[in-house]
Structure 1
């Protein structure tokens, strides 16, 4: 069984339905003890970083999640779930993350989005809609997914890992940012595979196969 952590701030049912469509057994769980016996763990999330971290802590998920990652269990972070993995976030103040990946979560700014553009076109914040990924490292979750594939994004903040070796894919939105990472058994993506049609389902299928 793949455990989808109930962070209280995500469309958990859509993630579960995505796994169901690729014939994977996935359940939304609100008891952290279930992570011990799960074959894999999905950490989804939308909304504010501080609220999400608080819900994980209050729900007792942090320590079981850290133990699962250390034990080599496959873990997939989605959107805000990617952000949780980092050391800190600047979203609405300064907030500590899980510090599994060294680095920061920062906001797109008007200046950062326009600095590489010469056509006068103003990009929007949040970055919302379909965009391409450039696969920098062939992570197992990208099996059968071509470089340049489109996925669905909704976010105003992006991650800046200290160690570039964890970056699996990047995407252009005024600047090039990390859109997926991979380190050993840990995977995470900024985009929403459950909203990304066939290729998103392929990614979920690939993750399920690792469990």
Structure 2
């Protein structure tokens, strides 16, 4: 079965489990989690994730592009380490983000963080590996699992967009807590990421 056909089957199951998603599914393109190979390496994806934290999308893109240029299109651990703190800050990175990216590069280069093993690890094991990096928390790790590794069974209950999307889809007037959302996720076991993706669609369009 092709990945696209598998996704269509998942969405069919989603609508059977929770018909409230019918409108957003109808108005949205097919969920594309895991349908294509990642554009960037594991290391480069995480580097861009650190850059993007707490700043506007446009500003993050500008800094990322400057970094790519500075690295001569090779955003790799050894290149980052060679650049050092001063040159990294010169592209527009804060002191904290510079330290985080250098920490990521150091752990990658020393093989303390081994991306080659990720295909054999569970979601929880990968998250544990990633959060040892300064500047990477559970949310960043979960976004990496969903959008880079294409893991379909991630339920990011702490994500505000997912919670707001869920509330709109189900026409809830009061705020849904992460704990309540966690309980709701049980019925979507195995494809929680897809549910989250459609929640984001409602909020982001």
Structure 1 and Structure 2 fold alike (TM over 0.5): no
TM-score normalized by the length of structure 2? 0.31
Report the TM-score, using the length of structure 1 for normalisation: 0.30
The structure where helix makes up a greater share of residues is 2
Task: Say which structure, 1 or 2, has more relative contact order (CA 8 Å, 6+ apart).
Answer: 2
Structure having the higher strand fraction is 1
